[in-house]
């Protein structure tokens, strides 16, 4: 007797091996049998005839921690077939933080992570995990974020860590991993993280290596002068070289500015790997990204945290200097003038507009428009890049994505940023875009290889115990999809569109999506 049988499907087990026809029997949270179960009794059956039975997808890079706490269903992830989210990316999240520092970071990161309840216990990784365990519809894993740790030990300040602060930071990382974190992350965009230098990151990663854990790096963009070689990629590779830590590079791809440069982008990575550095990477299938507008402000403006930022933005003596800095940045940055506002809680009528359009609407300069909006929105503004106008450019980028994913060291992420009416389409479509649209269009990877990059590969890298495969004794995280019909529907113009061709998703043995409808079951666990 089984609790659930998924019958008659083609099993793509996640290992990369050839698919085969079988039934999958589930009892409780686990896969209990694989084979011919046609004569077995079951309480529930899913008819997968003509469909693929796959492990649930593991999303290696997301920013859903705040959104999950206000929308536990996380339909935009589940409907993609994602059953496990990695949180704590880019060196930023909510734990381990004291109540006061949690409120600071909740304020600063609101435009990206959303507005979780103000009174949650985020004092440790264990407390963080408890806020999600069996309280949301999807599994969550956590990376201890460097910027969060820095906030806790040194405040929202541009100061070097003294020895006491450094030792405290290393203790928090060690405790976090002991409490279930799957690694450690740094970011090159979101403060206070970028105030650390390469040597600080090296010292912290020594602890990560001692714990046999993974270091996940978003290559630095802010304060590049503090990075080894003045470059975020070279910095991350040097940290791995000096510490021996396992390195994972986040969303490492070409973009709309440099399509067709895969070999150039990978040259330092491959050189480091030839030296024996253990490095993996992930990618999402879009040529532009998204972020929060407060992150574009210069470093000195950030010092002191959200309240200090707001004071400087409203200081008449400060505004001319800031206007000059931002205006120069807009002129020098290709595509920055075309970014689209995705999240403006108080000014939702401006969502979907570019910054120059907003400036024209408000009758002011782009720099003043941004500063005024940041003040009005209490810093909580999200934005994304506009898609490239050049169709050939875009197609080349798509091909680049598939060429990168063909490498065995690559895996798939979404970089979900779900807040706002004009969110990035990756929040609804990243995995089916790869698995359906790109796989069929370019025919570079087999279905089995694609699934491997989305399941077993990331599960192995991040130490997710008994996940990532259709295998007896593994957790029953399962996706049932139509290999010929699966496709993303989310676009830059209309991003909040669910994919098609994924009728069933099972999380820890519970049916979370039934005939493309979320069931409301909250079976997600804090893993591993």
CATH superfamily of 57-288+388-514: Metal-dependent hydrolases (3.20.20.140)
Domain locations in the chain as residue ranges: 57-288+388-514, 298-384
Q: Is the pLDDT of residue 334 over 80?
A: no
Q: Is the pLDDT of residue 12 over 90?
A: yes
> DSSP for 380-414?
--EEEPPPPS-HHHHHHHHHHHHHHHTSTTEEE--
Q: Is the dihedral of CA 361, 367, 372, 378 positive or negative?
A: positive
d(CA 353, CA 342): 8
List of residues 6+ apart from 222 with CB closer than 8 A: 188, 189, 191, 194, 295, 299
How does pLDDT run across 357-411, given as a tens digit for each residue?
999 999 998 889 999 999 999 999 999 988 888 889 899 999 999 999 999 999 9
Report the percentage of the chain scoring pLDDT > 90.
86
pLDDT at 421: 84
Q: Is the pLDDT of residue 475 over 60?
A: yes
d(CA 265, CA 379): 33
List of residues 6+ apart from 118 with CB closer than 8 A: 103, 106
pLDDT at 226: 94
Q: Which residues of 138-160 are buried (b: 16+ CB within 10 A; e: fewer)?
A: bbbbbbbbbbbbbbbbbebbbee
Confidence of residue 333 (pLDDT cuts 50, 70, 90): low
pTM for this one?
0.96
| Low-confidence winner among 48-62, 389-403, 431-445, 478-492 (lowest mean pLDDT) | 389-403
Q: What are phi and psi of 411, to 5 degrees?
A: -145, 180
pLDDT at 267: 96
d(CA 309, CA 317): 14
Report the percentage of the chain scoring pLDDT > 70.
98
């Amino acid at each position: 007797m089984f609790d659930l049988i998924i019958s008659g499907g083609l099993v793509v087990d996640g290992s990369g091996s050839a698919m085969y026809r079988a039934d999958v029997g589930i009892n409780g949270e686990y896969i209990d049998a694989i084979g011919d179960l046609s004569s077995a009794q079951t309480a529930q059956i899913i008819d997968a005839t003509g469909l693929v039975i796959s492990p649930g997808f593991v999303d290696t890079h997301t920013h859903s921690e705040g959104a999950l706490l206000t929308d536990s269903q996380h339909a935009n992830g589940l409907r993609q077939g994602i059953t496990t989210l990695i949180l704590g990316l880019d060196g930023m999240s909510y734990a381990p933080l004291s109540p006061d520092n949690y409120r600071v970071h909740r304020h600063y990161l609101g435009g990206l992570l959303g507005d979780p309840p103000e009174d949650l216990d985020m004092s440790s990784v264990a407390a963080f995990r408890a806020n999600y365990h069996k309280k949301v519809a999807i599994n969550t894993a956590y990376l201890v974020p460097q910027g969060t740790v820095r906030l806790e030990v040194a405040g929202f300040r541009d100061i070097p860590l003294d020895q006491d602060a450094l030792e405290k930071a290393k203790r928090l990382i060690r405790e976090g991993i002991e409490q279930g974190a799957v690694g450690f992350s740094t970011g090159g965009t979101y403060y206070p993280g970028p105030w650390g230098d390469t040597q600080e990151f090296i010292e912290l990663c020594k602890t990560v290596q001692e714990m046999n854990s993974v270091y996940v790096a978003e290559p630095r963009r802010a304060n590049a002068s503090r990075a080894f070689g003045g470059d975020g990629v070279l910095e991350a590779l040097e940290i791995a070289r000096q510490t021996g830590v396992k390195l994972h590079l986040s969303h490492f791809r070409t973009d709309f500015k440099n399509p067709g440069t895969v070999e150039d982008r990978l040259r330092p990575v491959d050189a480091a790997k030839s030296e024996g550095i253990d490095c993996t990477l992930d990618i999402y299938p879009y040529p532009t990204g998204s972020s929060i507008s407060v992150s574009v402000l210069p470093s000195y403006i950030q010092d002191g945290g959200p309240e200090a930022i707001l004071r400087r933005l409203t200081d008449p003596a400060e505004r001319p200097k800031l206007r000059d800095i931002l205006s120069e940045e807009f002129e020098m940055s290709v595509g920055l003038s075309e970014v689209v506002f995705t999240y403006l809680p108080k000014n939702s009528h401006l969502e979907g507009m570019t910054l120059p359009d907003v400036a024209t609407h408000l009758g002011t300069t782009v720099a003043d428009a941004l500063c005024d909006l940041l003040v009005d929105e209490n810093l909580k503004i999200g934005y994304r890049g506009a898609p490239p106008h050049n169709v050939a450019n875009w197609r080349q980028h798509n091909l680049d994505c598939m060429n990168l994913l063909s490498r065995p060291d690559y895996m798939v992420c979404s970089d979900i940023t779900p807040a706002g009416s004009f969110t990035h389409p990756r929040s609804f479509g990243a995995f089916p875009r790869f698995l359906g649209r790109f796989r069929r269009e370019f025919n570079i990877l087999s279905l089995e290889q694609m699934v491997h990059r989305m399941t077993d590969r990331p599960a192995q890298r991040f130490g997710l115990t008994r996940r990532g495969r259709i295998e007896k004794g593994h957790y029953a995280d399962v996706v049932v999809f139509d290999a010929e019909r699966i496709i993303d529907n989310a676009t830059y113009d209309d991003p909040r569109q669910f994919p098609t061709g994924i009728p069933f998703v099972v999380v820890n043995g519970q049916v979370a999506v039934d005939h493309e409808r979320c069931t409301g079951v909250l079976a997600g666990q804090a893993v591993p």
